Amino acid sequence: MNPNTISAICAAHDVRHFIISPGSRSAPLTIAFARHPDISVRMVVDERAAAFIALGMAQQLHAPVGLVCTSGTAALNFAPAVAEAFYQRIPLLVFTADRPPEWIDQQDGQTLHQQNLYAPHSRGEFELPPDTSHPDAARHAERILSEAILRARYPVPGPVHINVPRREPLYLARGEGAAPPPHPPLIRHTPAQKILSPAEMDSLRERWQSARKKLVIAGLHPPDEKLAAALRALSADPTVAVVADIAANVPPDAVTAPHADMIFSGKNVPAPDLVVSFGGAVVSKSLKLFLRAHRPAAHWHIDPVGQAVDTFQSLTRVIAADVPPVLASLAETPAASGDFRAAWLAAENRAAAALDDFLTGADFGEFKAVQRVLVHLPAGANLHLGNSMPVRYANYLTLPRADVRVNANRGVSGIDGCTGTAVGAAIATGAPTVLISGDLAFFYDRNSLWHNHLPPNLRIVVLNNGGGGIFKLIDGPSNLPPAELETHFFTPHRLSARNTAADFGLTYFSADATPALENALPSFFTPDTGAAILEIFTDSEVNTKLFWKFKNVMRET
């Protein structure tokens, strides 16, 4: 298939951003995308980093972003980001160049089996024919490409893989095939509305009204004003409590108990008889454990594609519909009398006071450092929370600002692409983009800074405790003998982000105590500073003692 036709079809389908890793077999695709006037191309050498940068862009744009790499193991390096995109339902269009079929398993260089490479973690696996000289074959290839692009958006957004076998010659003669076709053949799709019938909604409202203890749980979700309005209306019902994950992007005035992660660990948890959940994964393990141990009589999960997600082992109904209209209709149901909301408000007051007392008396460590960073976030910030401890700390602390968007790679919850995702988000939005990352996650993903596209709005906070301390903080590994824990889990190191900042041209700040941190944060967040790293040094043993003390505070709340 003519590479220029591929680029023209992509542009016509509004796939306008591509992250490309250089290679020879993919050269025709690279040239075609780079030459198209309506496509923006960014080159990133490391394929794993490239894929997470594309993920971060697509996460913010809510539109497919393209990836291109050469054949062989290069394509395997896209896999972590493809899996994360699959579980977050983020559209990616993954082009992998390939040898033609006659050269597979023939000891030719950079050759492996690339068909169905990302299954089952892709929404579709497609392969373009290597020979499209016949008009029927050309039309077939055009149809495959349109179908693949549509599949990235509907019925479930996510990554789609397009394998592109290519025979030599790979490089066209100078000036050959430079212009894309002006009117490429397209296939378009009009998605169906995901709304419930009046009879279905009446059935839900009848059951809803009969429940006196209703808990609405918001998981990972992008900001949505219609959803927020529905949750505000629901949260006024005395029989309803609304709790939300830090990455659910629910405004504070629509949440009954912002410190629900603390409450679920305490002694006086108001148990629901009906749970209504929506969105992606939740961070809080205490929430999951509590509901698995105290199963409600009914659990409804609202999901536009109708996937049966039984996180709490109590699922009784999947509601295949868009979330805001369903919640808005439930909010219009006449409210019954009850004290469930009041019980949650009382629990929230206790939890907030206990957290404030704890932080006031706590020594300097990661917990307090994250709290101070959150307080200083600039207006309209795009906050990315790294996995392991940063997202957990933030989920306990909650956000002091209502205008901050929160993102996290909680589809698979790996640490491998947190920096790349934040870089992609900063490129896509232009908004102040702040990543809070642990040291291992940061050093693991340094190649996401190895390119010529670092945006000046990027800020990276690195919590450096000399080895990543989560295994000292979670149950299980923390019970191991100290020698085994230090040797096989803690991974001590002496690295500093200072050299990384110098290598890639970022402004560097550091702090190892509260006064130094308070002094650094205003300059760190000043727009004129440009892309920057703030490295916060803490003592792992202090962090461990503080967190176990905090766990005891939660248990007594």
Whether 26 contacts 70, CB under 8 Å? yes
**Are both 517 and 396 inside the same structural domain?**
yes
* Structural domain that includes position 309: 198-342
Residue 189, in any domain of the structure? no
Phi/psi for 228 (5° steps) reads: -60, -40
- Do 268 and 383 belong together in one domain? no
CB 158 within 8 A of CB 128: no
Output the domain CATH number for residue 279: 3.40.50.1220
Residues 533 and 415 in one domain: yes
DSSP string for 243-266: EE-GGG---GGG-S-TTHHHHTTS
Clarify whether residues 208 and 160 are in a common domain. no
The overall longest dimension of the chain from CA atoms, in Å, is 78
Q: Look-up: residue for tokens 């080159």?
A: 43
How far apart are alpha carbons 156 and 369 in whole angstroms? 38
Co-location of 390 and 525 in the same domain: yes
* 10-residue stretch averages of pLDDT, the chain, 557 residues long: 93 97 94 95 98 98 97 97 98 96 87 94 96 89 95 96 89 58 79 86 95 97 97 96 97 96 94 97 96 97 94 96 96 91 97 97 96 97 96 95 95 96 98 97 97 97 87 67 72 92 98 98 97 97 93 91
The reply to whether 429 and 464 lie within a common domain is: yes
C-alpha separations of 11 from 17, 147, 153, 166, 528 in Å? 9, 14, 15, 21, 34
* 351 domain-assigned: no
Q: What is the CATH number of the domain that holds 140?
A: 3.40.50.970
Q: Does residue 402 share a domain with residue 333? A: no
Q: Quick one: DSSP state of residue 44?
A: B
Tokens 């903080």 map to which residue?
473
- What's the sign of the alpha-carbon dihedral 79, 80, 81, 87? positive
Report how many domains make up the chain: 3
Predicted local distance difference test score (pLDDT) of residue 103: 85
* Global pTM exceeds 0.85: yes
At residue 107, the pLDDT reads 86
Is the domain of 143 the same as that of 235? no
Q: Strand, coil or helix: what is 225?
A: helix
